Structure 1
Amino acid sequence: MLHFIYTQPLSRVIIAMAIAIAIWGYARTKLYGKRWNIANALLACGMVVVILSITIFGRTAGERILILKPFASLTVARTQSEAYRELLMNIFLFFPLGLTLSNALPQRWGRWRRIGITVVTGLLLSAGIEYIQYRFALGVAETDDVICNTLGTFIGSISLLIAHGIKKYKEKAIKHDSNKT
């Protein structure tokens, strides 16, 4: 069932992600403090289950292939455009994990520490998945997958910086408006 999601056209995946981000952003306006952290922790755990379902549990044993050359997929993409889609899907697969995990961690840890922990977690999860895929012949184990998954985790986790920037901008605008009166 979840493999069905992973094989969808890229445009549908982008639209679904945009809708999910909008819902997540709306939820942010309704949940604060610990409730927000708990909601994101549950979503992050759910994302790990989804990721493992797609990459490990949803597969049957086949060939054991290992590609260690970084960016080998970009070389393939020159002649097979499907490779670009696979690269983007690997980024999109881990984006929600970065988004939710970085927001689940305690604020007292600071933005950069939470981003760092989130990215390292995404890297370790991805490397672990690739190891399991290779060890049990569940698919192609590629360095590019680890790179793209980690990039997706990073892009999701920088939502902290974006949210902080928006908050500072609003505070500045409110302060500026109050100075006018």
Structure 2
Amino acid sequence: MMEKKHCKRPDENSWHKLIICALFIGYFGFIIWLTVLSRFVKTRRIELRPFWALQEIICGNPKGWEEVVWYFQNILLFIPFGFLLRGIVDNWKKVVLFGVIVSCGIEIIQYISATGLAEIDVVTANAIGTGMGCLLWKAGKKMNMRLKKRET
């Protein structure tokens, strides 16, 4: 007689990871839409000087401040990216590296498709945002562990 094997029910942790994966895929799609698919600029520009907006401010160009705001917006855009990806990937260095690779890919696509200014500062900002997301994940995990300790 053949013995029936019962499928193990997924534990709570695997459900959490599945939800985080779904959220990450959705957020990744949002980033691609926001940075590539929703743009119709049609001018090909590239800026490879690091921190060029700060250099413009020092030289008296007020347009530099607008670029600094964009810099911080890019940091904010990639915080959830790093936070969610850190919930899937255990190594924070791999998460930040993936953030840099994605950011470079976006900048290359923007340059080729002439849908925005491709710049090294955006890659830097996105890497910082991804790293900040990783730190927030770690802080949240520590807080969760402390709360669980208090409950027992």
Q: Please, what TM-score do these two structures have when normalized by structure 2?
A: 0.80
Secondary structure of 1:59's aligned partner: coil
Hey, what's the Cα distance between the residues in 1 that align with 2:76 and 2:136? 14
Name which of 4, 9, 24 aligns with 1:44: 24
Residues 134-173 of structure 1: CA distance to partner in whole angstroms, max 9, x if unpaired?
Answer: 112111000001000111111011123212432454577x
Segments of 4+ in structure 1 off by > 3 A? 167-172
Matching of residue 70 in structure 1 with residue 54 in structure 2? no
Alpha carbons of structure 1 residues 46 and 77: separation in structure 2 relative to 1, 3 Å: farther
Partner of 1:27: none
Which aligned pairs between 1:13-32 and structure 2 lie closer than 5 A?
A: 32=12
Of all paired residues, the percent bearing the same amino acid is: 28
Name which of 79, 83, 92 aligns with 2:67: 83
Residues 100-126 of structure 1: CA distance to partner in whole angstroms, max 9, x if unpaired?
Answer: 111123xxx4xxx2x112111111000
Secondary structure of 1:104's aligned partner: coil
Hey, what's the Cα distance between the residues in 2 that align with 1:160 and 1:145? 22
Q: Please, what TM-score do these two structures have when normalized by structure 1?
A: 0.68
Hey, what's the Cα distance between the residues in 1 that align with 2:126 and 2:95? 12
The alpha carbon displacement at 1:61 in A equals: 4.9
The structure where helix makes up a greater share of residues is 1
Runs of 5+ in structure 1 lacking a partner?
Answer: 1-30
Aligned residues: 138
Runs of 5+ in structure 2 lacking a partner?
Answer: 1-10
Partner of 1:132: 109
Question: What is the RMSD of the two structures over their aligned residues, measured on CA atoms?
Answer: 2.3
Indicate if the aligned counterparts of 1:94 and 1:149 stay in contact, CA closer than 8 A: yes
